[in-house]
C-alpha cells in the first residue's frame, strides 16, 4: 500500500480512495466516460497493458477488471463532493451575509460617524463589494472548505468501508 497522506488535517485509511477522488469526480462531471478497463477492487481506470493497479497495488492473478464503475461506488465519491460543496457554499454565503450586515450598519449609522452622507454611502458600497468578496473567500474555501473536506472525506471513507464489508473483501485498507 502507498503511504498515507494528510490533506486538510485528515488522513484517509484508504489512501487509494483519496487519490482516486479526482478521477471519480471527472466521471461524475461527465468529463470522461464511465467505460473502459477498471480495477475490480478500487475501480481505478487501467491501461490495457497494465499488470498492477497503480492505486491499490492489486497485481497479477488477483487483478480482475470491470468495464465501468458501478453507480454505488460513484455515489460514495459523490457524497464526499456534495458534503464539501455544501460547506464551501454555506461559508461563502455567511461571508456575504456579514458584508451585507456591515453595509446596512454603515448606511444606517455611517452618516452619523462621518459628516458627508455621500462619503458614508461610498464607504458602505466598498464594504459591501470588497468585503463581500474577501469574506466569501475567507469563509468559503479557506475556513469552511477545510471543515467540509474533512467531513466529506470521513463520510466517503465510512461508506467505502461499508461497501468493502458488503462485498466481503478481506483486504479493507
Q: Model confidence over 66-114: pLDDT tens digits? A: 999 999 999 999 999 999 999 999 999 999 999 999 999 888 887 676 6
Residue 38 domain flag = yes
The reported pLDDT for the residue numbered 167 is 86
**Alpha-carbon distance 15 to 154, whole Å?**
12
Could you tell me what percentage of the chain is helix, strand and coil, using 3-state DSSP and rounding each to the nearest 5?
A: 65, 5, 30
Residue 10 domain flag = yes
Total domains in the chain come to: 1
pTM, two decimals, is 0.81
Residue 135 domain flag = yes
**Alpha-carbon distance 4 to 162, whole Å?**
20
The reported pLDDT for the residue numbered 54 is 93
Residue 56 domain flag = yes
Asked if pLDDT for residue 129 goes beyond 70, the answer is: yes
Residue 172 domain flag = no
Residue 136 domain flag = yes
Count, in order, helices (H) and strands (E) of the chain. Answer: 4, 4
Range of the structural domain that residue 66 is part of: 6-167
Residue 152 domain flag = yes
Please report, in angstroms and rounded to a whole number, the separation of the first and last CA atoms in the chain: 8
Amino acid at each position: 500500500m502507498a503511504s498515507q497522506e494528510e490533506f486538510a488535517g485528515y488522513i484517509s485509511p484508504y489512501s487509494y480512495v483519496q487519490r482516486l477522488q479526482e478521477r471519480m469526480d471527472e466521471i461524475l462531471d461527465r468529463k470522461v466516460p464511465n467505460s473502459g478497463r477498471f480495477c475490480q477492487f478500487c475501480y481505478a481506470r487501467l491501461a490495457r497493458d497494465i499488470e498492477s493497479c497503480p492505486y491499490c497495488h492489486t497485481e497479477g492473478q488477483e487483478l480482475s477488471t470491470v468495464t465501468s464503475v458501478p453507480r454505488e461506488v460513484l455515489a460514495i465519491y459523490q457524497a464526499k463532493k456534495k458534503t464539501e460543496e455544501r460547506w464551501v457554499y454555506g461559508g461563502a454565503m455567511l461571508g456575504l451575509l456579514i458584508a451585507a450586515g456591515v453595509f446596512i450598519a454603515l448606511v444606517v449609522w455611517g452618516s452619523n460617524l462621518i459628516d458627508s452622507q455621500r462619503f458614508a454611502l461610498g464607504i458602505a458600497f466598498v464594504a459591501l463589494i470588497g468585503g463581500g468578496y474577501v469574506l466569501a473567500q475567507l469563509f468559503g474555501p479557506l475556513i469552511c472548505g477545510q471543515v467540509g473536506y474533512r467531513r466529506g472525506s470521513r463520510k466517503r471513507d465510512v461508506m467505502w468501508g461499508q461497501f468493502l464489508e458488503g462485498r466481503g473483501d478481506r483486504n479493507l485498507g
